[in-house]
């Protein structure tokens, strides 16, 4: 099979590799769509923290936002999975530690992460082997494009739920990228009055085209009471800005990560009686995201600007926009295209 492999920072190859074999408890998936994520770009540049912590090594195959169809099952796997359309959880816990036994496998100390951590190869390939326990079935109404948006959607859904808006509550989302826009969509579906703040006018124009009329720069955010603020950005100063902007007794949610340390003043947190929530991983939100997509209460398809083949992944990771790309922030890959 063909697969995209990062060999060093800024270096990559599309290689012909042996097709994966389903081990005990595993399945092989024929990959239909993969989303390119900011994490993949950090691996491309060499900035990803896991590289420096020993959790990840080159060469590696990224890709953790995917959808496809099961084509083979290993020992111990129910053959009912054969032919089923699926997406998969990125976080693969050890299954035996205290956290896993409490259904917190996404923070297992010994976890693998598909395409990210622990040597588990990712989905930027024609085929992928993953544990059957990580699979989530996609209904017919959730196509391959939506299926590859379930993983980022799960992160966003959890962030929106953590904001806990009552109908009509005003919520500000910092960072109108893929996660921020997905958070905004889930908040809108919950009945919140959604505002967005971003740095680039182009991203704000796109947000407005999705029906989010209240899209501001940091300098133009109105002096309004925000019942919750969700930081979905990668700017190190915005976690503290979120705390400044939120109403007393409100909630701040942190789902974005900056490249360096970001700090908040806990005196402000305490004196404003604010609840702060951190969100890592889509795992607990995957099924609810699939249900939202299937019901049509959230439709993230406009976020996908272009779909490319494996041979075009390198330039995308280097920051190039594919020719003819739309205004959305997400690039998808069809591994079987071209080659």
Provide the CATH number for the domain around residue 94: 3.90.180.10
15 and 115 inside one domain = yes
134: nearest Cα among 189, 92, 74, 84: 92
184 and 128 inside one domain = no
- Which pairing describes strands 193-197 and 170-174: parallel, antiparallel, or unpaired? parallel
14 and 124 inside one domain = yes
- For residue 84, being part of any structural domain is answered with yes
* CATH value at residue 229: 3.40.50.720
pLDDT band at 231 (very low <50, low <70, confident <90, very high): very high
165 and 106 inside one domain = no
- For residue 177, being part of any structural domain is answered with yes
pLDDT exceeding 70 applies to what percent of the chain?
99
Alpha carbon of 181 to those of 38, 67, 211, 245: distances in Å? 15, 21, 11, 19
Tally of domains within the chain: 2
Q: How far apart are CA 121 and CA 79, in angstroms?
A: 23
Q: Which residue has the tokens 């083979």?
A: 72
Q: How far apart are CA 12 and CA 125, in angstroms?
A: 13
pLDDT tens column, 76-101: 999 999 999 999 999 999 999 999 99
pTM summary value? 0.96
Q: Which residue has the tokens 């398809």?
A: 301
The distance of Cα 184 from the centroid of its chain, to the nearest Å, equals 14
N-term to C-term CA, the chain: 10
**What pLDDT was estimated at residue 107?**
96
pLDDT beyond 90 at 310: yes
Q: How far apart are CA 94 and CA 102, in angstroms?
A: 12
223 and 118 inside one domain = no
201: nearest Cα among 84, 30, 308, 327: 327
106 and 224 inside one domain = no
- For residue 195, being part of any structural domain is answered with yes
- For residue 218, being part of any structural domain is answered with yes
Number of H helices and number of E strands within the chain?
A: 11, 17
Q: How far apart are CA 59 and CA 48, in angstroms?
A: 14
pLDDT beyond 90 at 337: no
36 and 55 inside one domain = yes
**What pLDDT was estimated at residue 218?**
95
List residues bridging with 67 in a β-sheet.
Answer: 33
Alpha carbon of 103 to those of 90, 94, 107, 254: distances in Å? 15, 11, 10, 21
Q: How far apart are CA 157 and CA 150, in angstroms?
A: 10
**What pLDDT was estimated at residue 338?**
67
**Beta carbons within 8 Å of 295's beta carbon, 6+ residues apart:** none
78 and 176 inside one domain = no
pLDDT tens column, 125-173: 999 999 999 999 999 999 999 999 999 999 999 999 999 999 999 999 9
Question: From the CA atom positions of the chain, what is the Rg in Å?
Answer: 20
Mean pLDDT of 280-302: 97
168 and 192 inside one domain = yes
> What is the domain range of residue 88?
2-149+300-333
171: nearest Cα among 149, 148, 197, 147: 197
pLDDT tens column, 49-68: 999 999 999 999 999 999 99
Q: How far apart are CA 171 and CA 247, in angstroms?
A: 10
């Amino acid at each position: 099979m063909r697969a995209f492999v990062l060999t060093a920072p800024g270096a990559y190859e599309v290689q012909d590799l042996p097709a994966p074999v389903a081990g005990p408890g595993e399945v092989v998936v024929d990959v239909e769509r993969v989303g390119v994520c900011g994490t993949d770009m950090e691996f491309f540049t060499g900035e990803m923290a896991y590289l420096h912590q020993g959790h990840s090594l080159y060469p590696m195959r990224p890709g953790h936002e995917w959808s496809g169809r099961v084509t083979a099952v290993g020992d111990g796997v129910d053959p009912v999975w054969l032919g089923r359309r699926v997406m998969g959880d990125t976080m693969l816990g050890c299954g035996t530690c205290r956290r896993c036994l409490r259904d917190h496998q996404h923070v297992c100390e010994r976890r693998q992460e598909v395409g990210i951590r622990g040597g588990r190869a990712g989905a930027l390939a024609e085929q992928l082997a993953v544990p059957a326990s990580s699979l989530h079935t996609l209904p017919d109404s959730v196509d391959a494009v939506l299926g590859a948006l379930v993983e980022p959607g799960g992160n966003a859904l959890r962030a929106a739920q953590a904001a806990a808006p009552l109908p009509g509550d005003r919520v500000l989302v910092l960072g109108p990228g893929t996660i921020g826009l997905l958070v905004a969509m889930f908040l809108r579906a919950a009945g919140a009055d959604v505002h967005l703040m971003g740095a680039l006018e182009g991203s704000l124009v796109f947000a407005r085209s999705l029906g989010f009329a209240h899209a501001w720069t940091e300098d133009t955010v109105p002096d309004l009471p925000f019942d919750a603020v969700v930081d979905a950005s990668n700017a190190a100063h915005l976690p503290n800005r979120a705390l400044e902007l939120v109403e007393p007794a409100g909630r701040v949610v942190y789902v974005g990560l900056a490249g360096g340390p970001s700090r908040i003043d806990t005196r402000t947190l305490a004196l404003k009686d604010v609840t702060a929530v951190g969100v890592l991983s889509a795992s607990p939100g995957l099924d609810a995201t699939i249900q939202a997509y299937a019901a049509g209460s959230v439709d993230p398809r406009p976020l996908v600007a272009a779909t490319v083949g494996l041979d075009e992944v390198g330039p995308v990771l280097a920051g190039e926009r594919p020719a003819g790309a739309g205004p959305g922030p997400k690039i998808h890959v069809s591994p079987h295209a071209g080659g």
